[in-house]
Amino acid sequence: MRGQGWDVFVDPAGGISANIANEQVEPYQEAVDSCTEQLGFGVRPLTESEYTRLYADYVDGYGCLLEAGYSVTTPPSEATFIENYETAPWLPWSEIPSEELHRALALCPQPAEIY
């Protein structure tokens, strides 16, 4: 990603993150998709039971973040979560300010990806 000009870093959860402006979201996602494909990490569709488990994990994370004092958006319905997951996922940890993310993840770890 850095070779393509993106200022990325490894976040506390071990994922690759970047601070990007709203107008950069689409080109950034295209670069992520290209990089993922080049590395051979193809993404398969999730099964219904995987979506259900992921939703439950995210709702648990939401509750943990609230208990830790963070303000996060109320979870959508499970049907809305599934419908929007690939294009506009609800991810409560993404609402935490970057300077607080390390602490938030230590208190309320993100669930492991299912791919």
3 state DSSP class of 38:
helix
Residue 14: predicted pLDDT: 66
Total domains in the chain come to 2
Q: Rg (Cα) of the chain, in Å, rounded? A: 15
Model pTM above 0.85 = no
Residue 12: predicted pLDDT: 66
56 with 104, same domain: the answer is: yes
**Band of pLDDT at residue 56, cut at 50, 70 and 90:** very high
The number of beta carbons lying within 10 Å of the beta carbon of residue 44 is 8
86 with 37, same domain: the answer is: no
Tokens matching residue 81? 């979560």
Contact criterion met (CB below 8 Å) for 28 and 6:
yes
18 with 56, same domain: the answer is: no
58 with 104, same domain: the answer is: yes
- Higher pLDDT among residues 106 and 10, named by residue: 106
| Domain, as residue range, for 99 | 44-115
